[in-house]
Amino acid sequence: MALERTFVMLKPDCVERRLAGKVLARFEEKGLRLVAMKLIQMTQKQAAEQYREHEGKGFYAGLVKFMTSAPCFVMVLEGASAVSVVRKLVGATNGRNAEPGTIRGDFGLSAGLNLVHASDGVERAKVEAGIFFRPEELVTPQNAIGHWIENSEDAS
């Protein structure tokens, strides 16, 4: 299994509800490693770049206003199949439809206030990470047990 990096954002509703620690713990408990993380106040420019594909849609202005209204955490996570693992942990977009045990299923009640953004692919993750991080801000995690976590299928 190849290591991947993915971009994740804990949105203003997640931060305002003081759920950031619980959400981050879910990713870490799964075995994903933090490569970069910071608390930001998203600028209009960053929001426009992040949500460019939605420009012109009826919800765009409200989305940008919400995302720039309060701080959010942006991060890059690394692990085996990180993109699909994170998206599965996050759950369906609308918290009312998300499975129990997922982040949105456990903490969300709507589609608009859905707590977390997770990239939908490795290439998109690179683009999104580039909006918020300079390349030198991404670290290569080193730890004594990393090999065992990434190669857990080999242990049996």
Query: Which residues are tagged catalytic?
Result: 117
Token match 């997922």: residue? Answer: 102
Q: Tell me the C-alpha distance between 15 and 103, whole Å.
A: 14
Q: Tell me the C-alpha distance between 132 and 96, whole Å.
A: 30
Q: Choose among 119, 91, 117: nearest CA to 106.
A: 91
Distance, C-alpha 40 to centroid of its chain: 14
Buried b (16+ CB within 10 A) or exposed e, 133-154: beeeeeeeeeeeeeeeebeeee
Buried b (16+ CB within 10 A) or exposed e, 5-17: bbbbbbbbbbbee
